[in-house]
């Protein structure tokens, strides 16, 4: 007979609070991730109360340890029944987990409903309304908040009809993404868990082990009461019990339990313990990947922002120096900025007899674009049709062959670096803004090292010749 201990069932904590649950949690994000790593977790959830302050840092900490972060939030929700005396236990709670980017947006909206409220403390104390939850439930997995959820509280009050109505509303709203969270602290909690499972079976809502974590070890428990006292500005003995993670019950566990401890505690409910892994598998990366999200550009079909910028810069180079075009540095390759949507053909040739800037239209997210108005006189250093050139401009246009080759090489180098960093949409957008300002006779100028860019000069963003003034482009790009 083998002496190898039995393998613990697949499990992960899905109801976890950090110190970003201000004045109600003690664990740092790095400490939580390190503990998850020690317990060989592949996934870990963060569900701070009513807020997403730690989401980005949490995802970064998880990435360092090769752990899949699950972005979530514990949401305070208002009482659904006015006919049931709910006592003074504070608002109900739901644990919401984002299954992807859509779910993360829903979490942001729900958090903003509370954090952006004119009386944030008041709405957090009473909980968010059902209508607010119903408006922003897309992409979320809903787990009833264990002993703090209205279903459990109604059952404890023997208001079974109210508990059934609440669970029916949740299951109808989340449609296959609703779970009943189970907490086990005392034998009485086991009886309540059995009642919850039976209630869930009526509505097709399965149960999952969702033991809450507010600290890492039992030794941190006194700190939780201290934080609550600070929050209420009262003595330790006078802290309202509903503000404590254990709600004043010394037998309730609020620290991190290992998989072995969870297996022992939920031995009578193995399916609920294993269900946490099923939920974790449904949660994909939810945070934006950090790439710039540019406004939508109206470009010719099958034209990338890099190609459009290159063509515009070539036109400007010929206009300013009489040089031949340097050629597309990334012709035939996709733009490294996939957020730009190519729509309709845009005007990318300069209208030399009307304006020194491109007459294009950049469409924003609302679909509104700017249109050209009456032309304004060009700056005196631009050799446009019908305008006299100044001596410096004539000298510039009469560059030597070597000088023109150097200008072409410089432009090619700048375009290559701009494409490498994915900044072509930025240059096109700024050129449009400057063009619009000048057409509307709005004073506009540039500042700092943007004047070092030959591309910016050729497409009309700046009026300072970087070649004549020997300005270094890398100073600007850095």
The model's pLDDT over 136-146, given as tens digits with 9 standing for 90+, comes to: 999 999 999 78
pLDDT given for residue 398 in this prediction: 52
Give the tokens for residue 16.
Answer: 């976890």
The edge-to-edge listing of strands for the beta sheet with 92-98 is 43-46, 68-77, 92-98, 140-144, 178-182, 207-209
pLDDT given for residue 120 in this prediction: 84
**pTM of whole model > 0.95?**
no
Cα–Cα distance, 166 to 79 (Å, whole number):
10
Work out the percent of the chain whose per-residue pLDDT is above 70: 80
Give the tokens for residue 175.
Answer: 């449609």
Name the one residue in this structure whose structure tokens are 């022992």: 264
Q: Classify 99 as helix, strand or coil.
A: coil
* Helix 424-439 × helix 305-321 angle, to 10°: 60
Asked if residues 437 and 322 have their Cβ atoms less than 8 Å apart, the reply is: no
State how beta strands 92-98 and 140-144 pair.
Answer: antiparallel
Asked if residues 300 and 308 have their Cβ atoms less than 8 Å apart, the reply is: yes
Residue 130 CA: distances (Å) to CA of 49, 109, 137, 205:
17, 14, 11, 19
Asked if residues 190 and 268 have their Cβ atoms less than 8 Å apart, the reply is: yes
* 411 CB-near residues (< 8 Å, 6+ apart): 313, 314, 317, 326, 454, 455, 458
294: which DSSP letter? P
Asked if residues 224 and 247 have their Cβ atoms less than 8 Å apart, the reply is: no
Query: pLDDT tens digits for 124-134?
Result: 888 999 999 99
Q: What is the mean pLDDT of the chain?
A: 83
Nearest to 21 by CA among 313, 228, 284: 228
CATH numbers and ranges of domains, the chain? 29-282 (3.20.20.140), 305-477 (no CATH)
In which residue ranges of the chain is pLDDT below 50?
1-2, 5-6, 8-9, 325-394, 396-397
Instruction: State how far Cα 356 lies from the chain centre.
Output: 39
* Helix 401-421 × helix 305-321 angle, to 10°: 160
Query: pLDDT tens digits for 308-346?
Result: 999 999 999 999 887 554 444 444 444 333 333 333 223
């Amino acid at each position: 007979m083998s002496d190898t201990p039995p393998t613990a069932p697949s499990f992960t904590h899905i109801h976890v609070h950090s110190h970003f649950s201000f004045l109600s949690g003690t664990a740092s994000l790095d400490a939580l991730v390190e503990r998850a790593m020690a317990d060989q977790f592949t996934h870990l959830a963060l569900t701070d109360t009513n807020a997403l302050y730690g989401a980005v840092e949490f995802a970064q900490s998880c990435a360092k340890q090769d752990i899949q972060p699950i972005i979530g939030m514990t949401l305070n929700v208002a009482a659904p029944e006015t006919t049931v005396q709910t006592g003074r236990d504070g608002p109900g709670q739901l644990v919401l987990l984002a299954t992807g980017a859509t779910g993360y947006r829903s979490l942001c909206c729900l958090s903003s409903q509370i954090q952006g409220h004119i009386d944030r403390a008041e709405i957090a104390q009473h909980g968010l309304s059902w209508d607010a939850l119903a408006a922003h439930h897309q992409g979320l997995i809903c787990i009833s908040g264990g002993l703090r959820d209205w279903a459990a509280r109604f059952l404890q009050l023997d208001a079974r009809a109210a508990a059934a109505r609440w669970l029916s509303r949740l299951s109808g709203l989340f449609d296959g993404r609703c779970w009943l969270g189970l907490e086990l602290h005392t034998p009485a909690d086991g009886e309540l868990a059995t009642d919850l499972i039976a209630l869930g079976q009526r509505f097709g809502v399965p149960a999952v082990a969702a033991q809450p974590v507010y600290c890492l070890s039992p030794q941190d428990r006194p700190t939780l009461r201290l934080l609550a006292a600070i929050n209420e500005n009262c003595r330790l003995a006078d802290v309202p019990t509903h503000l404590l993670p254990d709600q004043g019950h010394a037998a309730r566990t609020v620290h991190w339990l290992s998989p072995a401890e969870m297996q022992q505690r939920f031995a009578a409910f193995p399916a609920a313990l294993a269900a946490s892994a099923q939920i974790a598998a449904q949660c994909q990366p939810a945070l934006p990947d950090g790439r710039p999200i540019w406004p939508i550009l109206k470009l010719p079909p099958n034209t990338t922002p890099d190609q459009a910028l290159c063509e515009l810069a070539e036109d400007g180079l010929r206009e300013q120096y009489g040089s031949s075009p340097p050629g597309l540095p990334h012709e035939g390759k996709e733009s490294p900025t996939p957020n730009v949507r190519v729509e309709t053909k845009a005007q990318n040739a300069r209208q030399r007899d009307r304006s020194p800037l491109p007459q294009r239209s950049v469409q924003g997210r609302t679909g509104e674009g700017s249109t050209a108005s009456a032309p304004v006189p060009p700056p005196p250093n631009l050799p446009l049709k019908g305008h006299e050139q100044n001596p410096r401009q004539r000298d510039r246009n009469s560059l030597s062959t070597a000088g023109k080759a150097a200008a072409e090489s410089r432009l090619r180098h700048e375009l290559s670096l701009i494409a490498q960093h994915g900044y072509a949409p930025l240059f096109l957008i700024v050129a449009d803004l400057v063009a619009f300002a000048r057409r509307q006779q709005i004073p506009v100028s540039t500042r700092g090292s943007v004047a070092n860019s030959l591309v910016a000069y050729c497409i009309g963003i700046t009026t300072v010749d970087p070649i004549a003034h020997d300005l270094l482009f890398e100073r600007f790009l850095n």
